[in-house]
Chains A and B, each alone.
Chain A
Amino acid sequence: AQKITQTQPGMFVQEKEAVTLDCTYDTSDPSYGLFWYKQPSSGEMIFLIYQGSYDQQNATEGRYSLNFQKARKSANLVISASQLGDSAMYFCAMRRGTGANNLFFGTGTRLTVIP
Protein backbone atom coordinates (compact mmCIF):
# COMPACT_ATOMS: atom_id res chain seq x y z
CA ALA A 1 0.00 0.00 0.00
CA GLN A 2 1.14 3.51 -0.72
CA LYS A 3 1.72 6.08 1.97
CA ILE A 4 2.76 9.72 2.03
CA THR A 5 3.98 11.29 5.27
CA GLN A 6 4.37 14.99 5.92
CA THR A 7 5.56 15.32 9.49
CA GLN A 8 5.49 19.12 9.75
CA PRO A 9 1.97 20.42 10.36
CA GLY A 10 3.26 23.99 10.38
CA MET A 11 6.44 25.81 9.43
CA PHE A 12 7.64 29.40 9.72
CA VAL A 13 10.26 31.06 7.57
CA GLN A 14 11.65 34.56 7.38
CA GLU A 15 11.04 36.41 4.15
CA LYS A 16 13.90 35.93 1.65
CA GLU A 17 15.15 32.82 3.44
CA ALA A 18 15.01 29.28 2.06
CA VAL A 19 12.77 26.62 3.58
CA THR A 20 12.51 22.84 3.21
CA LEU A 21 9.20 21.02 3.51
CA ASP A 22 9.57 17.34 4.24
CA CYS A 23 7.86 14.46 2.48
CA THR A 24 8.52 10.76 2.79
CA TYR A 25 6.71 8.08 0.86
CA ASP A 26 6.29 4.36 0.74
CA THR A 27 5.38 2.28 -2.27
CA SER A 28 6.16 -1.10 -3.73
CA ASP A 29 5.71 0.12 -7.31
CA PRO A 30 8.99 0.39 -9.25
CA SER A 31 7.60 3.31 -11.24
CA TYR A 32 5.91 6.24 -9.56
CA GLY A 33 5.66 10.01 -9.67
CA LEU A 34 5.80 12.60 -6.94
CA PHE A 35 4.05 15.96 -7.03
CA TRP A 36 3.91 19.05 -4.87
CA TYR A 37 0.88 21.32 -4.77
CA LYS A 38 0.29 24.68 -3.10
CA GLN A 39 -3.09 25.66 -1.67
CA PRO A 40 -3.45 29.35 -0.72
CA SER A 41 -6.21 30.51 1.57
CA SER A 42 -8.45 31.02 -1.47
CA GLY A 43 -8.62 27.22 -1.77
CA GLU A 44 -7.41 26.42 -5.27
CA MET A 45 -4.75 23.74 -5.70
CA ILE A 46 -1.74 24.93 -7.67
CA PHE A 47 0.70 22.44 -9.18
CA LEU A 48 4.31 23.28 -8.36
CA ILE A 49 6.69 20.53 -9.37
CA TYR A 50 6.96 16.90 -10.49
CA GLN A 51 9.62 14.22 -9.98
CA GLY A 52 9.57 10.86 -11.72
CA SER A 53 11.04 7.86 -9.96
CA TYR A 54 13.47 7.22 -12.80
CA ASP A 55 14.56 10.83 -13.18
CA GLN A 56 18.29 11.08 -12.59
CA GLN A 57 18.26 14.76 -11.68
CA ASN A 58 16.29 16.64 -9.07
CA ALA A 59 13.42 18.61 -10.54
CA THR A 60 13.51 22.40 -10.44
CA GLU A 61 10.89 25.02 -11.33
CA GLY A 62 11.94 28.60 -10.67
CA ARG A 63 12.27 29.04 -6.90
CA TYR A 64 11.06 25.50 -6.26
CA SER A 65 13.29 22.46 -6.25
CA LEU A 66 12.71 18.92 -5.20
CA ASN A 67 15.37 17.15 -3.14
CA PHE A 68 14.73 13.58 -4.27
CA GLN A 69 16.50 10.85 -2.32
CA LYS A 70 15.19 7.60 -3.70
CA ALA A 71 16.98 5.25 -1.31
CA ARG A 72 15.58 7.17 1.65
CA LYS A 73 12.16 7.49 -0.04
CA SER A 74 12.05 11.21 0.51
CA ALA A 75 10.97 14.02 -1.80
CA ASN A 76 11.44 17.27 0.07
CA LEU A 77 10.37 20.59 -1.45
CA VAL A 78 12.84 23.44 -1.19
CA ILE A 79 11.58 26.99 -1.65
CA SER A 80 14.34 29.52 -2.10
CA ALA A 81 14.05 33.24 -1.35
CA SER A 82 10.67 32.96 0.37
CA GLN A 83 8.04 35.57 -0.38
CA LEU A 84 4.97 36.61 1.59
CA GLY A 85 2.83 35.07 -1.16
CA ASP A 86 4.34 31.68 -0.39
CA SER A 87 2.25 31.47 2.78
CA ALA A 88 -0.08 28.55 2.08
CA MET A 89 -0.72 24.85 2.64
CA TYR A 90 1.65 22.58 0.76
CA PHE A 91 0.77 19.03 -0.17
CA CYS A 92 3.02 16.24 -1.30
CA ALA A 93 1.33 13.64 -3.50
CA MET A 94 2.23 10.40 -5.23
CA ARG A 95 0.77 9.08 -8.44
CA ARG A 96 -0.25 5.57 -7.87
CA GLY A 97 -0.42 2.83 -10.44
CA THR A 98 -1.02 3.48 -14.05
CA GLY A 99 -4.08 4.29 -16.08
CA ALA A 100 -6.06 6.92 -14.27
CA ASN A 101 -3.07 8.67 -12.73
CA ASN A 102 -4.92 9.31 -9.51
CA LEU A 103 -2.92 10.99 -6.75
CA PHE A 104 -2.49 9.99 -3.13
CA PHE A 105 -1.93 13.01 -0.87
CA GLY A 106 -0.16 13.67 2.38
CA THR A 107 -1.77 15.65 5.19
CA GLY A 108 -0.04 18.88 4.24
CA THR A 109 2.23 21.49 5.82
CA ARG A 110 1.10 25.04 6.50
CA LEU A 111 3.89 27.45 5.68
CA THR A 112 3.87 30.97 7.09
CA VAL A 113 6.33 33.52 5.74
CA ILE A 114 7.23 36.20 8.28
CA PRO A 115 8.07 39.70 7.04
Chain B
Amino acid sequence: DVKVTQSSRYLVKRTGEKVFLECVQDMDHENMFWYRQDPGLGLRLIYFSYDVKMKEKGDIPEGYSVSREKKERFSLILESASTNQTSMYLCASSGQGEETEAFFGQGTRLTVV
Protein backbone atom coordinates (compact mmCIF):
# COMPACT_ATOMS: atom_id res chain seq x y z
CA ASP B 1 0.00 0.00 0.00
CA VAL B 2 1.47 3.34 -1.07
CA LYS B 3 2.15 5.79 1.68
CA VAL B 4 2.95 9.35 2.49
CA THR B 5 3.66 9.71 6.17
CA GLN B 6 3.81 12.92 8.14
CA SER B 7 5.69 12.80 11.40
CA SER B 8 3.00 14.35 13.60
CA ARG B 9 -0.77 14.47 13.49
CA TYR B 10 -1.06 17.30 16.00
CA LEU B 11 1.55 19.83 17.08
CA VAL B 12 1.47 22.76 19.47
CA LYS B 13 4.35 25.25 19.38
CA ARG B 14 5.12 28.60 20.88
CA THR B 15 5.50 31.84 18.94
CA GLY B 16 9.09 32.28 17.80
CA GLU B 17 9.98 28.59 17.91
CA LYS B 18 11.64 26.88 14.97
CA VAL B 19 9.31 24.13 13.76
CA PHE B 20 10.09 21.13 11.57
CA LEU B 21 7.37 19.19 9.79
CA GLU B 22 8.63 15.96 8.28
CA CYS B 23 7.21 13.99 5.39
CA VAL B 24 8.33 10.64 4.01
CA GLN B 25 7.03 8.78 0.95
CA ASP B 26 7.72 5.19 -0.05
CA MET B 27 6.72 5.38 -3.72
CA ASP B 28 10.04 6.60 -5.15
CA HIS B 29 8.26 9.73 -6.39
CA GLU B 30 10.27 12.57 -7.87
CA ASN B 31 7.83 15.30 -6.87
CA MET B 32 6.91 16.35 -3.37
CA PHE B 33 4.74 19.20 -2.14
CA TRP B 34 3.74 21.08 0.98
CA TYR B 35 0.28 22.65 1.18
CA ARG B 36 -1.54 24.45 3.93
CA GLN B 37 -5.28 24.15 4.29
CA ASP B 38 -7.45 26.83 5.85
CA PRO B 39 -11.27 26.97 5.99
CA GLY B 40 -12.70 28.80 3.00
CA LEU B 41 -9.32 28.99 1.27
CA GLY B 42 -8.82 25.42 0.14
CA LEU B 43 -5.29 24.09 -0.21
CA ARG B 44 -2.52 26.53 -1.01
CA LEU B 45 0.90 25.49 -2.20
CA ILE B 46 3.80 26.55 -0.01
CA TYR B 47 6.80 24.85 -1.66
CA PHE B 48 7.47 21.95 -3.95
CA SER B 49 10.43 19.90 -5.06
CA TYR B 50 10.95 17.93 -8.26
CA ASP B 51 14.28 16.38 -7.35
CA VAL B 52 16.67 15.92 -4.47
CA LYS B 53 18.08 19.24 -3.30
CA MET B 54 15.78 21.09 -5.70
CA LYS B 55 13.01 23.34 -4.43
CA GLU B 56 10.60 25.84 -5.88
CA LYS B 57 8.39 28.43 -4.20
CA GLY B 58 4.68 27.94 -4.39
CA ASP B 59 2.00 30.54 -3.86
CA ILE B 60 2.61 31.34 -0.19
CA PRO B 61 6.28 30.68 0.67
CA GLU B 62 6.77 33.60 3.06
CA GLY B 63 7.79 32.46 6.53
CA TYR B 64 8.63 28.93 5.38
CA SER B 65 11.59 27.06 4.00
CA VAL B 66 12.07 23.45 2.90
CA SER B 67 14.73 20.81 2.71
CA ARG B 68 15.04 17.75 0.50
CA GLU B 69 18.27 15.92 1.21
CA LYS B 70 16.92 12.51 0.23
CA LYS B 71 14.40 11.57 -2.44
CA GLU B 72 11.91 10.11 0.02
CA ARG B 73 11.95 12.93 2.57
CA PHE B 74 10.69 16.51 2.30
CA SER B 75 10.78 18.78 5.33
CA LEU B 76 8.91 22.00 5.92
CA ILE B 77 10.56 24.49 8.27
CA LEU B 78 8.95 27.39 10.04
CA GLU B 79 11.94 29.52 10.95
CA SER B 80 10.10 31.51 13.62
CA ALA B 81 6.56 30.31 14.13
CA SER B 82 3.80 32.90 14.32
CA THR B 83 0.15 32.58 15.27
CA ASN B 84 -0.95 33.17 11.66
CA GLN B 85 0.81 29.93 10.75
CA THR B 86 -1.71 27.96 12.78
CA SER B 87 -3.18 25.68 10.15
CA MET B 88 -3.46 22.18 8.72
CA TYR B 89 -0.35 21.22 6.74
CA LEU B 90 -0.55 18.56 4.06
CA CYS B 91 2.37 16.86 2.37
CA ALA B 92 1.94 15.16 -1.01
CA SER B 93 4.00 13.32 -3.57
CA SER B 94 3.54 12.37 -7.19
CA GLY B 95 5.37 10.63 -9.98
CA GLN B 96 5.96 11.89 -13.48
CA GLY B 97 3.25 11.86 -16.11
CA GLU B 98 0.38 14.20 -16.75
CA GLU B 99 -2.28 11.88 -15.43
CA THR B 100 -0.46 11.07 -12.23
CA GLU B 101 -2.41 11.99 -9.16
CA ALA B 102 -0.82 13.30 -6.01
CA PHE B 103 -0.86 11.12 -2.90
CA PHE B 104 -1.35 12.91 0.38
CA GLY B 105 -0.26 12.36 3.94
CA GLN B 106 -2.72 12.42 6.81
CA GLY B 107 -1.97 16.05 7.62
CA THR B 108 -0.43 17.87 10.58
CA ARG B 109 -2.62 20.24 12.52
CA LEU B 110 -0.24 22.88 13.85
CA THR B 111 -1.27 25.32 16.55
CA VAL B 112 1.04 28.21 17.37
CA VAL B 113 0.32 29.83 20.73
Whether A107 contacts B101 by the Cβ 8 Å rule is no
Select A47's contact among B44, B48, B101, beta carbons within 8 Å. Answer: B101
| Complex CA–CA separation, A33 to B100 (angstroms) | 10
Q: Do A100 and B48 touch (CB < 8 A)?
A: yes
Shortest beta-carbon distance from B109 to chain A in Å = 8
Interface residues on B, range: 20 to 34
Q: Is the Cβ of B45 less than 8 Å from the Cβ of A31? A: no
* A43 interface contact, C-beta 8 A: yes
Cβ of A105: which chain B residues have Cβ within 8 Å of it?
35, 42-44
Assembled-state Cα–Cα distance A43/B45 (Å): 17
B56, CB-defined interface residue at 8 Å:
yes
B positions within 8 Å CB-CB of A: 31, 33, 35, 40-45, 48-50, 56, 58, 88, 90, 92, 94, 96-107
Apart from A6-B42, A101-B100, list 10 A-B contacts with CB within 8 A: A4-B42, A33-B98, A37-B104, A44-B104, A45-B90, A47-B101, A101-B94, A101-B102, A102-B58, A104-B45
